[in-house]
Amino acid sequence: MPNPLAIDAHAHICTEETMNLLNKEVPKVASSLKEYEKDVFEWTVAGVPYRPLPRGGFDIEQRLKDMKASDVDMQVLSNTPQTFMYNQDAGMTAAACVIQNDQIAKHVRDYPKSFYGIATLPMQDPKAAADELERAISKLGLKGMQIGSNINGKNLDEPEFEPVWQVANQHHAFCMIHPNNVAGMDRLRKYYLNNLIGNPLDTTIAAASLVFGGVIERFPNIRFYMVHGGGFTPYQAGRWQHGWHVRPEPKVNLKYPPAETIRTFYWDTILHSKPQLEFLVQEWGAAKVILGSDYPYDMGTFECARQVKALSCGELDKVTMLNGLVQKLLADVR
């Protein structure tokens, strides 16, 4: 196929400049980098080491080279989940969010042909989170937010988060839900199961809370983007539908069968399996699938654009997934 524009909507960033600003303003969660292989680093945040972090995670010039090598033209930049900081003092997290959002907006201004941006929010203080989302969209020109799949163990349908949803709904915000602090850690400590199973599991719990909690029905203008292929949600939707019909509990906050609400989600392409991605597109339609890489992490893929181009669907569907859908959603943010 011709080489259509490819926009990666799931790409994380925390540049060295951002790290230095965070270290100065919020030293309690100071971070540092240690190179242990060429261009591969261990990143320590608040005393917790994470590896590997490739250079592109904090070096924009390297990022641009990696994008070109991956046939990716643009990224929607989001903070890296290690800097959610939901378990820290809310005022400190709010200050850290301002720094990160200002920096992401700066990257977008500096490289307008390469980047869009979305905000991070101090979700443990929903009023502050709502205010920062308003600032990020209205003043900085960001297109929405990335938030965790739970906030310190609280599901996303808790009433306290309503102020955030109200602002997001008003602006038709793009909202990426990313797993963090995953459920079931007592049984997921070995074999990297915290990521292999825990990440898609917690995304699924988040999706269920948004559906059965009535959040999507009450706030229909929010564009929820569920990463890692939506967790297990797209493949268990029939069970949710059946449960709503035969059990009283799923009906408490949900007026209509969940199949209708689930179809409002958007899924990313990170499934690491062509047959599974083919199923996602066939079952839900190309107009619900958005290119994603999880850059720069090893559980993502540098092949996301080429994977979409290799699918069996038609060329128009491929263009929809590569750029058309996400461009439309981001343009709708107001």
Give the structural domain span for 273.
Answer: 7-332
174 in a structural domain:
yes
Counting beta carbons within 10 angstroms of the beta carbon of residue 134, is it exposed (0 to 12), middle (13 to 18) or buried (19 or more)? middle
User: How confident is the model at residue 30, as a pLDDT?
Assistant: 87
225 SS3 class: strand
**Count: domains in the chain:** 1
Q: Which of 29-43, 64-78, 122-136, 294-308 has the lowest mean pLDDT?
A: 29-43
- Looking up residue 145, the CATH number of its domain turns out to be 3.20.20.140
pTM of this prediction?
0.96
Give the DSSP letter of residue 321. I
Q: What's the pLDDT score for residue 2?
A: 65
Whether 1 maps to a domain, the answer reads no
Of 13, 50, 45, 15, whose CA–CA distance to 31 is shortest?
Answer: 45
Range with the lowest mean pLDDT among 19-33, 61-75, 159-173? 19-33
Burial 102-113 (b: 16+ CB within 10 A, else e): bbbbebbeeeee
**Whose CA is closest to 329, among 131, 78, 144?**
144
In tens, the pLDDT along 159-205 reads 999 999 999 999 999 999 999 999 999 999 999 999 999 999 999 99
Q: Is residue 41 part of a domain?
A: yes
User: What backbone torsions phi and psi does residue 26 show, to the nearest 5 degrees?
Assistant: -130, 65
Query: In sequence order, what are the residues at sequence separation of 6 or more whose Cβ sits closer than 8 angstroms to the Cβ of residue 47?
Result: none
Judged against a pLDDT cut of 70, whether residue 107 lies above it is answered with: yes
